[in-house]
Each structure stands twice: as structure tokens, then as C-alpha cells.
Amino acid sequence: MLTDVKLRGLKPRPKLYRVADSEGLCIEIRPGGSMLWRYRYRFAGKANMLGLGEYPQVSLREARLARDAQRKVLKGGADPSVKRQQDSATLALAQANTFKAVAGEWLDKQQHLTQSTLDKAKWMLEELAFPWLGTRPIADIQPPELLSVLRRVESRGRLETAQRLKQRCAQVFRYAVATGRAERNPCADLAGALATPKTVHRAAVLDPTGIGELLRAIDSFTGTFPTACALKLAPLVFVRPGELRQAEWAEIDLDAAQWRIPASKMKMRRDHLVPLSSQAVAILRGLEPLTGRRRYLFPSVRSGARPMSENTINAALRRLGYDKHEMTGHGFRSLASTRLHEMGWTSEVIERQLAHAERNKVKAAYNHAEYLPERRRMMQAWADYLDTLRDRRNVVAGNFGHAA
């Protein structure tokens, strides 16, 4: 039998050779000097050999224990080599079917989401779910285990985030069920298990006097010129904050007075056309000499290769004295929607310009330019209306309505 002293004394030879220990265990010495443990056995009358690791990383004692384990497999009626291959395949399958692996596949297939929405979903899963569920076989995750992860978020007072995380996990589990990696979605058993957050409406100035004060405050903004232009443009186009800050000059046609936002940037993943009023065109012509040679209308102050930060508009509003309960970048959409309805413009025209989801999917496929003439008139009338509010003129909303 081998000993540690004998093992240390073994030297390489021009050809590979083996030295036996006992019960099928041997050490294989290769010409290059490496020493490998081998277990030699017979199964169904055929000789075979199984590797047990390299010496000295695997000690003599560990090699004997590994041999004993393989002998038990042999005594149980299985071929140790075949059993190892099966175990490796099972492990590989388990690793491919972890929550993290399946979630990664699901994320790769969500090309219909905007990049910002996709980034948020990825962040949520990576930061709030993977640390606890990432390495778990997705089929083994039970409702109590998932609930404990969600309650970690809930316990920090982030009720809405906990609900959103549950929604994302549910989408991952549904994908796992559809692809045969799980038998059921444990989220279905968690109905009512999390606290429901109170609905918080986006802050927005809605009354005409307040709107006029807001517009005058925007005119007095003393920050960077691109940020000032973004602030002035926001109420005129009332797109989502992410769409505004990521606007590119290649999307703008000042001669045609329109801004064509590609589907990849839109929440609903459909191209969106924004008619530009004469006031909006004037703002952009003033900005063009400064940023027109760059990709973005409103580049980041740190790098012209990136758009301004998602917090820039809100931070500018704070500098003007409007806190998050009074006005936000998204609030310009509520402001426009509320006042335009009061001005008599039809809901179909307003909703199309807001790029809200069309419930009728067949109709949605054809409404890229739907109501475009009315939308052009509405956007110009809206800009004119805002001018009157800024200038403190007596305003009758109906004078700027659809009938005009």
C-alpha cells in the first residue's frame, strides 16, 4: 500500500506508469511530473478506470475515501463512470435551471420593453432577488421562500417596490413553467400576503394661475442652457421624462416641425410622432448651435456621449422652488391632459398624443399617425395657450379649444 513518504519519492519516467495502492486505487505518474489518482474496476466483465483527482491537491486519505464511494456505487449495480456522467449532466441541468439562469433568459426575450424599463427590471432582479434566490433551482422555490425575499423589501417601507418585484418574479416563473423548468408559479399563492401601497398621483400644477407662475419661473432658470431648453420644451411636448432627456437630433425635423421618437424608446414600443409648435421649433433652433453636432439634444454635463441624467429636470424644478409634491417632470403630462380636456379637445386626440396604450390591438397597429392633423392644431393651440398664461393675459380656455 502507498504511504505519503512513498508518494513523495515517486519520480516521473519517460513513459507513464502507475503504482497500486489497494482495492483498485492507484496513482498514475506522467512524464511531465503530474500525479493523478485512478480507480480501476470491472463492470459487466469489462475493465474501466475512473479519475479521482490530482495529487497532492487530493491527499492519499481523500483518494481512498473517493475510491470507497465509487465501490459503493459499483456494489449497487451501477457503472461508476456512467453514474458520474449522469450526475454531471444533472448538475449542469440544475445550474441551467436556477432562478438566475431562467430570469436571464426571460430578460433576453423582453425586447418589447423600453431600455429604461428593461434596465429597471434587470436591476430589481439582480439586487433584490438574485442574492437569495439566484442559485436556487427554480422548480424548488416554494411560496414561503419567495415571500421572505419580498418581505425584506417590504420591511424597509418600499411597498410599491415589493409589489413590482413580485410581478417580475411572477413573469420569470410563468416563463419557467412555459419552458418546462417549473411546474407552477408560487406567486399565485401570495395574493394578499404583501401590504398594498397607497396610490400616489403624480404631482402637477393644474390651475391656470399656477401654470403661468410655473412658466415664468422656468423662464428665470439660471442653470445650464440645455437644461433651460429642456425645461421650456417639457410643457410644450409633454412626453415622458425619459423620452425627453434621450431625444436625439437625428429624430428632429425642424423644417417639417416634428419629432419622430422610435419605438425602442417608447413605453408601448411603437413609433411616436410629436408635432412641434412654432414655439417648440424656436427653442430647438436656439439650442441647435450648441448641441446640434452631438447625438443628444440634452447631453450629460459629464459626457456628450450620454443624455442628461433622469434627475436633471426634477432637480431643476427643485431649484425653482417646486418640491416633489408640487411638480415633477412627469407632471407636465398631467398638466397638459387636464387642461386640454377642459379646452374641449377630444380624448382620442389627447390620448394619442400622450402615447397611451391602445386597448384595441388591431387599431393600435394603424394609429401611428392617427388624428395627426388634429394633433398638429392641438399642439399649436396648446403652445399659444401657454403663452397667454405666461404673459398673465385674461384667458378663456375655450378660445383655444377644438373648435378653434
Contacts within 8 Å (CB) and 24+ apart, 22-29: 23/67, 23/71, 24/67, 24/71, 25/52, 25/63, 25/64, 25/67, 27/2, 27/55, 27/63
Q: What is the dihedral of CA 259, 260, 265, 271, to 10 degrees?
A: 140
Catalytic residue among 260, 267, 270, 402: 267
Sheet holding 46-55, edge to edge: 17-20, 25-29, 35-43, 46-55
Q: Is 240 in the active site?
A: yes
Q: Is 371 in the active site?
A: no
Q: Is 267 in the active site?
A: yes
Apex 387 CA angle, 381 and 393, nearest 5: 110
Catalytic residue among 330, 339, 352, 375: 330
Contact 280, 237 (CB under 8 A): yes
| Side-chain-side CA neighbours of residue 191 (13 Å) | 3
Catalytic residue among 356, 376, 377, 402: 356
Q: Is 390 in the active site?
A: no
Q: Is 356 in the active site?
A: yes
Catalytic residue among 240, 245, 339, 352: 240
Q: Is 402 in the active site?
A: no
Contact 217, 228 (CB under 8 A): no
Backbone angles phi, psi at 248, to 5 degrees: -120, 145
Catalytic residue among 333, 339, 352, 375: 333
Q: Which residue has cell 453514474? A: 83
Catalytic residue among 42, 156, 285, 366: 366
Residues annotated as catalytic are: 240, 267, 330, 333, 356, 366
